[in-house]
Amino acid sequence: MANASSIDDLTPEGVNVTRAPRSGAVGRVLLAALKTRRGKIGATLALIVLAIAFLGPLVPGPSPTAFAAPSFSKPGVPGAGLLGTDVLGRSVLARVLNGGHTLILLALASTALAVGLGALLGVFAAYRRGFLEGLLMRGVDVVLAIPQLVFVLLLMSVIGPKWWLLVLAVGLAQAPQTARVMHAAAQSVCERDFVQAVAVWGEPPRMVIRRHVLPNLTTPLMVEAGLRLSYSIILIAGLSFLGLGTQPPAPDWGVMVNENRLGLTSNPWGVLAPAIVLAVLAVGTNTFADAVARANLGEMRGEETVIAAAVTRENE
C-alpha cells in the first residue's frame, strides 16, 4: 500500500501537504484566506452580524419582550422605534439586537460537536483501515440516508424543544458529513511514508494521529468547520422558524421571521430585518469558508470541496 504513495510524495501537491507547519497552522490558514478579496468580504460580513448579535444586548433601548406600540406599526409611528413593531407590538429593533446571540452560540456548540466527532470518526477510520473502517464508514452512510433536517425533526419531536437537544441533534446530524470528508482527506495522509514510519517505530495510534496525521489535515478541518458553522446556523434558524428551536416570547431571528409573516404588508421590517441579518451571516461564513478552501487548496479544488461538502458526498 505504500508503493503508490511513494510516487505521490514527489508530486508538487504532495510536498505542499507534507510541509504544512506543525504550530500556528490554524493562524496561517486563516491568514492566507484573509489575504484574498473573498476572505476579506466574508469575514467582514460575518463580523458585522456577530457585532450586532453580541453587542446588541448592551445597546440601551426598549425591552425586546415589552409592548411598545400597536402591532405591526410602521417605523414612523411614535414609540415604534426605527424598525416599527412586530405581531405583538414589540420593538423590532430591540428584538433584532437581542435575537442573535443565542442562535450563534448554539450554532457554535453544534459545530464543535459535529466537527469534533466527525473528524475523530473519519480520521480514526482512515488510520485503522480494515474491518473497523468499513463498519464505521457504512454506519456514516446509514445516518446520511436520512435528510439532515428530517433527522433533527425526528429527534426534536421525540423529546421536544430543549436547547441541549438542539445542539446534540444538529451536531449529530452533521457529524457524518465531516466524517466523510475527513476520512477522504486522512486516507492519503495515513498512507504516507512518514506516518507509516512512526507507526512502525511503535508510537501508539493516539499519538501518531495527534502528532503526525492531524497537523496535515489543518486545511480540510478548517474548511469543514466553516461550512458546518454556516449550515448549523441555517439549520438552527430553520428549526426556530418551524417553532422547534428557541421558544417565544424570547427574541430569536428565526422565530421573528415566522411570527411576523402575517404583517409583511403592514410592517415588512418585522420579517425583513431578521431575514437580512440571517442572510448576511450565512453568506459571510460560507464565503469565508470558501476563501479558506481556495486560498489553501487552489481555486478548482476549493470549488469542489465546497460543493462536495455542501451537498455532501465525495466521489468514491
Task: By CB under 8 A, name the one of 1, 58, 200, 311 that touches other proteins.
Answer: 311
Whole-angstrom CA distances from 209 to 220, 295, 314 are 15, 25, 22
| Choices 75-83, 90-98, 157-165, 206-214; region in contact with other proteins by CB under 8 A | 157-165
Residue matched to cell numbers 418551524: 242
Q: Residue 47 interacts with other proteins (CB under 8 A)?
A: no
Window 231 to 270, contacts with other proteins (CB under 8 A): 233-234, 237-238, 241-244, 254, 257, 261, 264-265, 268
Q: Residue 303 interacts with other proteins (CB under 8 A)?
A: yes
At 236, is the secondary structure helix, strand, or coil? helix
Q: Residue 154 interacts with other proteins (CB under 8 A)?
A: yes
Q: How far is the CB of 261 from other proteins (least distance, A)?
A: 7
Task: By CB under 8 A, name the one of 77, 88, 117, 146 that touches other proteins.
Answer: 146
Task: Name which of 4 and 200 has its Cβ closer to other proteins.
Answer: 4
Closest CA to 63 of 32, 93, 25, 87: 93
Write phi, then psi, for 67 (nearest 5 degrees). Answer: -70, 130
Task: By CB under 8 A, name the one of 1, 23, 37, 145 that touches other proteins.
Answer: 145
- Cα(309)–Cα(284) distance, rounded to whole angstroms? 17
C-alpha cell at 316: 468514491
**Stretch 189-228: interaction string toward other proteins, x if CB under 8 A:** ----------------------------------------
Task: By CB under 8 A, name the one of 177, 178, 230, 305 that touches other proteins.
Answer: 230
| Choices 77-85, 93-101, 118-126, 298-306; region in contact with other proteins by CB under 8 A | 298-306
SS3 content of the chain, % helix, strand, coil (to 5): 75, 0, 25
Q: Residue 1 interacts with other proteins (CB under 8 A)?
A: no
Kindly report the number of other CB atoms within 10 A of residue 84's CB atom.
27
Task: Name which of 130 and 316 has its Cβ closer to other proteins.
Answer: 316
DSSP per position, 33-80 = HHTSHHHHHHHHHHHHHHHHHHHGGGS-SS-TTSB-SSTT--TTSTTS
Window 267 to 286, contacts with other proteins (CB under 8 A): 268, 271-272, 275, 278-279, 282-283, 285-286
Largest CA distance in the chain: 77
CA torsion sign for 119, 122, 125, 128 is negative
- Cα(73)–Cα(229) distance, rounded to whole angstroms? 35
Task: Name which of 199 and 228 has its Cβ closer to other proteins.
Answer: 228
Task: Name which of 250 and 283 has its Cβ closer to other proteins.
Answer: 283
Q: Residue 165 interacts with other proteins (CB under 8 A)?
A: no
Assess contact for 178 and 224: CB atoms under 8 A. Answer: yes
DSSP per position, 282-311 = HHHHHHHHHHHHHHHH-HHHHHHHHHHHHH
Binding region for other proteins (CB under 8 A): 4, 7, 10-11, 138, 141-142, 145-150, 153-159, 230, 233-234, 237-238, 241-244, 254, 257, 261, 264-265, 268, 271-272, 275, 278-279, 282-283, 285-287, 290, 300, 303-304, 307, 310-313, 315-316
